[in-house]
Structure 1
Amino acid sequence: MTKNRWVVLIGFFLFAAALFYIFSYSSQETTASQHKIESISDTGYAFGNETAPVKIVEFSNFECPSCQKSHQEIKEALKQAIDSGAVYYIFKHTSLDQFTKSPLVSERVASLEDDETKPEVMDQIFQEQQSWSKLNEKELIEYLEEMNLTQAVDLEEERATIQEETKELNVSGTPTIFVNDKKVQGALTEKAFKKLLQSSLE
């Protein structure tokens, strides 16, 4: 093979590798588009002042690794925004076929009536996701009972409402977050979340 043909082949492979990198990177970026948040119900776990200038609705799943990653990134900034009265936040636990343990977890979390305790429990569940997601049903129940989550709530009607909303709003996966009329798909970094929040407050 001549030197020129080697150069052409190497150039082709480098070009292909560059395209693959660009495609892979862009597929991980969050995307935002305009949607009407007024059409989204308050079904789910709600925190903050309903009259806050910014309404955030998150479609998430306790067993979803990307949701866990996003939660860890934005939780402090989100809590500060809720506590300051700037944000009304609704967490919608979204059923997904690949996550078989999370329905039981969500039923137990829904039994908590104390809005101050619930965020702490949700945070612990996300933090310990890799551990409890490997448990069998008996072990998972024991784990939840150790967290004093001994009661379960029938969420059939709530799941149906959230499932219908995912169809209407083209929510194809979790996490998907609506900040006022902006829809963001994929895990958010703290920096991206703060920027999105600030633009919604302006």
Structure 2
Amino acid sequence: MSTPSHAKPDRALVALLSPDPATDHILGPASAPVTVVEFGDFECPSCRQAHPTVQFTLSHFGPQLRFVYRHFPLREVHPHAELAAQAAEAASAQGKFWAYADLLFNHQSHLDSRHLDAYARQLDLDMPRFENELKDGVYRQRVQEQVEAGRRLNVRATPTFYVNGVFTDVSFGLLQLRDAIERALRKPSAP
């Protein structure tokens, strides 16, 4: 596998990174000139570290930024990540994705099913619905589709960020994300 491309993405990659309000978790207006897509894992320590920075970045750039979160659970190293992603989807079905995601990142060392249920109770979710959707694997396919999209983009680690469709390497710090957003804001819009 090659590493994510730093060059201008081709049309197929752009299509993979286009936000879909029906399946993606999106903050910020569709009219924002910059879209950041994160592939993340709720059990990943680096994603947990990035979480407050992403929140600050959203606040800092305001309506100039649209943020999209997609699941990329690294099952081989994070055994609870996939179920946590499905639980977040079940919470999303009840309008609580972002609040549930905050709980998952804030309690990252407690992502077993008992704790996932406790977080749902804490948010006053419809528990029979939440538990049945998890037990039945209702959101397994959605999570797998996001993982597959990440694989097609050569995502191998989390968090992985794309700013306006261009891979942004944050391995040397999340300041790279802010810098990429600022560069994207300075670029003239395409006609």
User: So what's the TM-score if we normalise by structure 1?
Assistant: 0.68
Alignment-derived partner of residue 6 in structure 2: 33
* Paired letter, 2:100: V
Alignment-derived partner of residue 109 in structure 1: 88
Q: Secondary structure at the match of 1:100?
A: coil
* Paired letter, 2:70: K
Alignment-derived partner of residue 61 in structure 1: 41
**How much does 1:52 deviate?**
1.6
Q: Check the 8 A contact 2:73/2:85 in 1, yes or no.
A: no
Alignment-derived partner of residue 70 in structure 2: 92
| Structure with larger Rg | 1
C-alpha distance in 2 between matches for 1:92 and 1:46: 9
C-alpha distance in 2 between matches for 1:137 and 1:94: 19
Q: Secondary structure at the match of 1:129?
A: coil
Unaligned runs of 5+ in 1: 1-30
C-alpha distance in 1 between matches for 2:60 and 2:97: 16
Instruction: Give the CA RMSD over aligned residues.
Output: 2.7
Alignment-derived partner of residue 56 in structure 2: 76
> Equivalent residues in 2 for 1:157-196 (5 A)?
157-186=141-170, 189-196=173-180
C-alpha distance in 1 between matches for 2:103 and 2:28: 20
**How much does 1:44 deviate?**
2.5
Q: Check the 8 A contact 1:73/1:189 in 2, yes or no.
A: no
Q: Check the 8 A contact 2:85/2:143 in 1, yes or no.
A: no
Unaligned runs of 5+ in 2: 187-191
* Paired letter, 1:182: V
* Paired letter, 2:84: V
1:145-195 superposed Cα distances (whole Å, 9 cap, x missing partner): 234343246223312321221222111111110001321244574533221
Q: Secondary structure at the match of 1:33?
A: coil
**How much does 1:32 deviate?**
7.2
Alignment-derived partner of residue 141 in structure 1: 117
Give % identity: 22
C-alpha distance in 1 between matches for 2:144 and 2:42: 18
Q: Indicate yes or no: 2:140 matched with 1:156.
A: yes
C-alpha distance in 2 between matches for 1:114 and 1:50: 22
**How much does 1:122 deviate?**
1.9
C-alpha distance in 1 between matches for 2:117 and 2:171: 28
C-alpha distance in 2 between matches for 1:76 and 1:114: 25
**How much does 1:89 deviate?**
1.5
C-alpha distance in 1 between matches for 2:157 and 2:165: 18
C-alpha distance in 1 between matches for 2:185 and 2:5: 16
Q: Secondary structure at the match of 2:42?
A: coil
* Paired letter, 1:164: E
1:20-59 superposed Cα distances (whole Å, 9 cap, x missing partner): xxxxxxxxxxx97123452224343122222321111110
The 3 A distance-change label for structure 1 pair 88 and 74 is closer
* Paired letter, 1:69: Q
**How much does 1:87 deviate?**
1.6
